[in-house]
Amino acid sequence: MVSRDKHVAVLMGGFSSERPVSLSSGKACADELERFGYRVTRIDVTHDVANQLAEVKPDVAFNALHGPYGEDGTIQGVLEFMQIPYTHSGVLATAVAMDKELSKRLAKTHGIAVAESKVMDRFDITSAHPMKPPYVVKPVAEGSSFGVVIVKEGQSHPPQVITSDEWKYGDRVMVERYIHGRELTCAVMGDVALGVTEIIPQGQEFYDFDSKYAAGGSNHECPAKISPFVYQKITNMALKAHKAFGCRGVTRSDFRYDDRFSEEGEVIWLEINTQPGMTATSLVPELAAYAGHSFGELLHWMVEDASCLR
């Protein structure tokens, strides 16, 4: 039975490009935690977050922040200094996972299949392709598919938006081989893989921001209709990544599966999300439900799992 005296501060909003998503995740989590019996305070995080937390004095901080400052080790460091137990992964795991270059190096070191890539200054991508198309250009430290550009086979020149004034995602970008095929994802809760979902974008080229968060933006097939061999391969890789990064709580690893030439095909790990979304269209709550955990039970587990020194 949940103690109604346990006070949970749900950290949401913040000031990254993913603020709207964080507000949605935070509201959903705060509402459900209240229904589950916790005393909840909602905190729209500002640069004065230490004073916000000091005033509220929570027993646990439920981290519903997304993007820079929320899932890159920054807020985790604040919570460590203040000795407030918190959910999800700790300082080092989140910092490494948020940096696409470092995360791919670590994954590859542990035998996890990744796509060939290089990190460049965006201003070096001018008249010549940095890699034979098709390829993907993405910011090194952003989430929710912000700034992802796909360069198709046969395209005559690199995308101009990368070097334009419209670009607002930093000067370091990753150029990565484009992987044909299906979008798959696997959630891990503690040391258990919950299952594999196939994401089928509706009306979009890939699983972009609108596909992730807009109603009807994508269909989720849970469990994914893939061979038992590929299913097991993906759950094993997700668990391996979770442990290799030193993650805690809940994570979600994303994959591409190219089955054009054989059923076994090519399975490529893309990234690990240490702060997966918790909105109405989010994947982790769906996978938790498939594994037998209601949304409230999932959040309850996360709150009770919270600690410092993660």
| 252 has catalytic annotation | yes
| 59 has catalytic annotation | no
| 190 has catalytic annotation | no
| 38 has catalytic annotation | no
3-state secondary structure of 90: coil
Choose, from 271, 282, 286, 310, the residue flagged as catalytic.
271
Choose, from 63, 211, 253, 273, the residue flagged as catalytic.
273
| 254 has catalytic annotation | yes
3-state secondary structure of 275: coil
Choose, from 182, 252, 256, 310, the residue flagged as catalytic.
252
Locate all alpha helices (DSSP H) within the chain, ordered by sequence. Answer: 19-35, 49-56, 74-82, 91-98, 100-109, 209-213, 228-244, 283-290, 295-305
Cα of 14 vs its chain's centroid, Å: 16
Q: Which two tokens stand for residue 106?
A: 């670590």
Choose, from 99, 142, 198, 254, the residue flagged as catalytic.
254
What is the spatial distance between Cα 22 and Cα 150, in angstroms, rounded to a whole number?
26
What is the spatial distance between Cα 94 and Cα 302, in angstroms, rounded to a whole number?
16
Q: Which two tokens stand for residue 18?
A: 């993913």
Choose, from 13, 17, 18, 24, the residue flagged as catalytic.
18
Choose, from 207, 213, 231, 257, the residue flagged as catalytic.
213
**Beta carbons of 131 and 177 less than 8 angstroms apart:** yes
Choose, from 38, 265, 277, 282, the residue flagged as catalytic.
277
| 105 has catalytic annotation | no
Query: Which one, of 64, 44, 67, 70, lies nearest residue 278 by Cα?
Result: 64
Q: Is 205 exposed, middle or buried (0-12, 13-18, 19+ CB in 10 A)?
A: exposed
| 277 has catalytic annotation | yes
Place of tokens 């929320």: 70
What is the spatial distance between Cα 199 and Cα 218, in angstroms, rounded to a whole number?
7
Sheet (strand 7-12) strand order: 39-44, 7-12, 60-63
Choose, from 144, 211, 253, 282, the residue flagged as catalytic.
144
| 142 has catalytic annotation | no
Active centre residues (catalytic): 18, 144, 213, 252, 254, 271, 273, 277
